[in-house]
Structure 1
């Protein structure tokens, strides 16, 4: 229970820190961000609150997704109908939080009055953004058991493509849901990436079964897989038994910015569904349970620090709880009580509820 609370809260903290009311997400330099952070007194000198350090749309969308997962539903179809309603209702409230454009476009395509097809959105060539990945950790927390993998795959894909109907987008939601489930299972972090790649076949099988947009998907399906395979090879952990990640001898803020840009599809680290979870994962691999260094790697870089920070913070919470996190970062966090309440409900639903 406490790890679930830490996960939901620290996902919000990571988002608020990396976002910094949109200021740091617009900064192309991690060096400059860390310099500003030092002038603020470092992490110990920050008091995160809704006024100065609001969360972005990442946390808002994670909240509403979690709310649907703990609602009174009888089937996955009912769940999707609830998600459609929730996303349509919340979209007007996230405009001021600099949302992923694909989130706004996707929500505008949802049809809450269509009982059978309300969550079927058109294929979107521009739907490859980070927004599907940042709202799906709760899916993995709800369906964390290995025997519920089919549910995790289906729900993460469907909630992902409601807003990001592009493989690079919705495979990002599958990725973060899987990583959250692996954290709850206590699977070694070094294994997560290659285990995730094994699940992509199940994802493709599910998408083919739904008979929606496979012709369009086919053109870009393997981009996500190829980028992740390349990353795992770069770190020397692509094969079974390779459990010692290899990092550059110099891996400071300037070097990380360069590496993150290279992983990106457009030179902005964390902008897409493949590299937002990749940066968060890389941070966990690199720093283990050091919260300050996790922030340096995943929140404070030249790119979408709110996106990568929300994922990294949530996964850190599932692994380590509130270890070494200054209280000023979370006591006055926007929506903290809501996040803790949802964490308790997710834990109960995951461990005591039915398979739905």
Structure 2
């Protein structure tokens, strides 16, 4: 089978829309910390809907999610590998903490930066959420439909465990917490008929924000959907499967819910960009987005790094 090379425009849309999902879900902290999807949708209606919004500071800044996403992307774009890459990422994460005014980074974000800089091991496999998102992005870039992503994640998890075991670092701690992630994803994929990676997905319609809040809470830890490594990509994938080709529906499901919606919005909107581009997205949502040029520039750099100049 001939390799599918994603366009640089797909990379650009993915990076820009990840910022859009973040800024929209965050709304300066107003919507990120609102636990009611119906309330968020009511307030959106008062604003005139998605097409009436222009995402730009001060009302619509990006959150710490995009700042740290940029730090990671720009670090990777250097092309460094191994220990030099880890040192470069640590340096950029420290610098990113100087751009947190008004972005309300949570204690987890701060702890991640400290841990990274000290070289400490993360013994809670919440980092498997990052693995899931990276995998979904790679599959989306290659044109694989979302119906296949979860099954591929289950296939990759044992390889990730082999790596953890091979490092010999905090193996017992990881082993104690590791099964939860895979079991949660197995249950979810089984409920959607996707354990084998073949569609069609059996996704309930959940037409109302209240219904979606209830379902997402059923996957959550500590009563905040999308806050944990296992359910943030889960909410995003559910939204991608249910929304089909409708950008507005994607936002309603992945961004405008009563949970950690800037995180789930970042993931879902970024994955949407890889396959759907910017065409169906109202221009006001991305034309004045904070850090838009940085997001575009690093998208080009990552495309060259991954595929060369094609």
Q: TM-score, with normalisation over the residues of structure 1? A: 0.82
For 1:13-67, what per-residue CA distance to the aligned partner results, in whole angstroms no more than 9, with x for missing partners? Answer: 0000011111011111111100100110000110110211000011011101011
Matched, 1:295 2:301: no
Give the equivalent residue in structure 1 for 2:214: 258
For 1:70-117, what per-residue CA distance to the aligned partner results, in whole angstroms no more than 9, with x for missing partners? Answer: 1152x3221111111111222232263122322201212344xxxxxx
Give the Cα–Cα distance (whole angstroms) in 2 for the partners of residues 122 and 202 of structure 1: 19
Structure 1, 221-230 or 97-106: larger mean CA deviation: 97-106
Root-mean-square deviation (Å): 1.4
Give the Cα–Cα distance (whole angstroms) in 2 for the partners of residues 59 and 31 of structure 1: 25
Aligned length: 302
Give the equivalent residue in structure 1 for 2:87: 81
- 1:220 corresponds, among 167, 177, 181, to 177
The answer as to whether partners of 1:291 and 1:323 remain within 8 angstroms in 2 is: no
| TM-fit CA distance, 1:310 | 0.4
SS of alignment partner, residue 96 of structure 1: coil
SS of alignment partner, residue 24 of structure 1: coil
| TM-fit CA distance, 1:343 | 0.5
Matched, 1:34 2:13: no
Structure 1 runs (4+) greater than 6 angstroms displaced: none
Give the equivalent residue in structure 2 for 1:54: 61
| TM-fit CA distance, 1:301 | 0.2
For 1:235-260, what per-residue CA distance to the aligned partner results, in whole angstroms no more than 9, with x for missing partners? Answer: 1211354x111133544211100000
Q: Which protein has greater RCO, CA pairs closer than 8 Å, 6+ apart?
A: 2
The answer as to whether partners of 2:149 and 2:197 remain within 8 angstroms in 1 is: no
- 1:331 corresponds, among 270, 281, 287, to 287
Give the equivalent residue in structure 1 for 2:27: 20
The answer as to whether partners of 2:14 and 2:271 remain within 8 angstroms in 1 is: yes
Gaps of at least 5 residues in structure 1 are 112-117, 124-164
Give the Cα–Cα distance (whole angstroms) in 2 for the partners of residues 235 and 303 of structure 1: 22
- 1:184 corresponds, among 141, 164, 170, to 141
The answer as to whether partners of 1:283 and 1:294 remain within 8 angstroms in 2 is: yes
Residues 168-317 of structure 1 correspond to what in structure 2 (within 5 A)? 169-241=126-198, 243-317=199-273
The answer as to whether partners of 1:268 and 1:304 remain within 8 angstroms in 2 is: yes
SS of alignment partner, residue 181 of structure 1: helix
